Homo-oligomer: A and B are copies of this chain.
Amino acid sequence: MSKTYGTLNPGKRVLMGPGPSDLHPRIYQAMAAPLVGHLDPYFIQIMDETKALLRYVFQTDNDLTFPISATGSAGMETCLCNLIEPGDEVLICVGGFFGDRMAQMAERHGGKVVRLENKWGRPFTPDQVQEALAGCRPKLVGLVHGETSTGVLQPLEDIVRIVHEHDALVLVDAVASLGGTPVKIDEWDIDACYTGSQKCLSAPPGLAPITLNDRAVTAIEHRKSPVNSWYLDLTLVKKYWGEEHLYHHTAPVNLIYALREALVLIHEEGLENCFARHALNYRALKAGIDAMGLKFFVEEAHRAPMINPVLAPEGIDEAGIRGRLLNEYGIELGGGLGALKGKAWRIGLMGQSSNKDHVMLCLSALEQTLLAEGHTIKASGVTAASEVYSN
């Protein structure tokens, strides 16, 4: 093999897609802290701090709160495969790509899945869920809080109450939302929730924090059959992350260093300030997009502030513009997923990527690129966004 391999040289990116989002310089430092063993007393202290910090961000006292050693979708699968047994009825609210993924996974684990479908871009109403529950008796109802594919933020409180009136568990996908908007596990009484490390938490991709309350843990304890995944079996994993620290797998130590540091950054900023920052940068982006005459996919009332599908104007090559932004500015936007493929840009304002510089750069680059492609802009998005920051 005579091929030679060069030095890694990715160049700088401005990550404004659906995740991963930008890493704070302290995250790079944390990842490069000296590696220790997965059972080292120092690492056990880091594990404990990571759990405490995750409880802070999830706004919960749940004991079972830790990261799964795999990416966000494995967090989804962990919750489903532990909470569902073959033959269990399950209701999944499918209003986008990730709701559909949840339904697919629930089926893989033997769930008898009832799909409550919604047109993409609209949240589910409590009435819809109430009605669906009149026709089935699920063990679990699954919902996506921030649908990365559509940009919808799903209100949860009323639906959780209704689901509990029907004696079912509530599973929430907070992959896009956690850290960017309130996810009040205890106050809203959510039974199980998972997220990914690489979105509003702004840690590197590769970990899936989860949290389960006592109701969910009891459901697992009362299973009649073993979980059909060994790697994701919480009964085993929790013995490693719990006080026993019993070897299960070799934890990705450097990633957990990085996740802890990302959580420390959120803790230092304060959760409420972090949410306010995400909201402000969304408002500035919105002002700019509106001024330019571009259209959001989702109605204003239902938007997730951290992920914004914006429709490509008629006659504009969505992927072509994204390519130019990447090549000429280093800006990564997301393309449309599923029903939005080829039709929208997904502009992410997540974690460290939710900041004024990113918003201003993105709007100016988008503006100039659209002009260069012969598209007319209604008014300057940059000016409009700037006014939001000045007020």
The interface of chain A, by Cβ under 8 A from chain B, is 1, 3, 5, 8-13, 15, 17, 19-20, 22-23, 28-38, 40-43, 46, 49, 52-53, 56, 69-74, 77, 81, 101, 104-105, 108-110, 196, 198, 204-206, 226-232, 247-255, 257-258, 260-261, 264, 267, 326, 332, 337
Q: Choose one: B41, B230, B264; the contact of A105 (CB below 8 Å).
A: B230
Question: Is A206 a contact partner of B255 (Cβ separation < 8 A)?
Answer: yes
Enumerate 8 A-B pairs (CB-CB under 8 Å) in ascending A order: A11-B34, A11-B42, A13-B34, A20-B253, A70-B74, A104-B230, A204-B254, A204-B255
> Which residue on B lies nearest to A323, using beta carbons?
B41
Q: Choose one: B81, B248, B252; the contact of A204 (CB below 8 Å).
A: B252
Question: Is A255 a contact partner of B257 (Cβ separation < 8 A)?
Answer: no
Question: Is A250 a contact partner of B20 (Cβ separation < 8 A)?
Answer: yes
Residues of B within 8 A of A226 (CB): 108
Q: How far does the alpha carbon of A232 sit from the alpha carbon of B229 in the complex, in Å? A: 10
Residues of B within 8 A of A260 (CB): 5, 8
Question: Is B20 a contact partner of A231 (Cβ separation < 8 A)?
Answer: no
Question: Is B33 a contact partner of A31 (Cβ separation < 8 A)?
Answer: no
Most chain B beta carbons < 10 A, residue from A28, A36, A37: A37
> Which residue on B lies nearest to A56, using beta carbons?
B1
Residues of B within 8 A of A232 (CB): 229, 231
Q: How far does the alpha carbon of A1 sit from the alpha carbon of B31 in the complex, in Å? A: 25
> Which residue on B lies nearest to A106, using beta carbons?
B230
Question: Is B231 a contact partner of A74 (Cβ separation < 8 A)?
Answer: yes
